[in-house]
Amino acid sequence: MSVSIKTPQEIEKMRIAGRLTSEVLDYIGPFVKAGVTTNELDRLCHDLIVNEQQAIPAPLNYAPGGHTPYPKSICTSINHQICHGVPSDKVLKNGDIVNLDITVIKNGYHGDSSRMFYVGEPSIQARRLCETTYQAMWRGINQVKPGAYLGDIGYAIQSFVEPLGYSVVREFCGHGIGAKFHEEPQVLHYGRPKTGLKLEAGMIFTIEPMINAGKKEIKQLNDGWTVVTRDHSLSAQYEHTILVTDTGFEVLTVSAGTPPPP
């Protein structure tokens, strides 16, 4: 696998794209409430990205091999939806949890981040799942430094969530990112320490664990995009874009409203 090492100029462009991505998540948070449709959230994000940021929403018309083009500008995954939920006229209701996944292209480079949002007051189970998933992402991020291995990231996440009774989705993972939306390497959220690719300064990739309250098995809906838990259990995900620095890591998807590390 050929993993690109980003130049200082590329890293600076990635910082800008990452900040813009995070600012979309800051902006949309107050609109996530009971009675709003996911189509409305999509429209608000699209208008901000295109008109204010003068940027491009990467998901819109994205069509990897074998997929129909994705029809919207963001992904909205509610409750038992794991990822790639397609915005629709579905109305959010009190107690829902929803993942909003944003990818912005600015000056040819991608920023990619997602957060969980609560609609009104979630159940204790739902809140605990989201908080655990956020901690799991950060346990993975904290492994990142030159000389560490991708397996260290996956192990840090898996060994944290599984003893709590949660499961890690296997079919979807983090990924390299830059001028392309999805590059090498694949960043698994499970694994063994000291296995896989050795990290080097200048690599940029996402860490985005998808954690299920029930079993790990998934299924894809007929829209060709939305992925759900097979047992209908709740699922949560958080995502940041990470740069490997000379001494550790830098989170590129940060802005004024980014939640602090746990």
- In tens, the pLDDT along 102-144 reads 999 999 999 999 999 999 999 999 999 999 999 999 999 999 9
Distance of CA 63 to the CA centre of its chain: 18
Is-contact 241 111, C-beta < 8 A? yes
What is the arithmetic mean of pLDDT over 137-160? Answer: 98
Torsion of CA 87, 120, 228, 169, to 10 degrees: 120
Classify strands 174-176 and 183-187 as parallel, antiparallel or unpaired. Answer: antiparallel
Domain boundaries of the chain, sorted by first residue? 8-251
- Does this model's pTM top 0.95? My answer is yes
Domain at 8-251, CATH from 3.90.230.10, 3.40.50.2300, 1.10.630.10, 3.30.530.20: 3.90.230.10
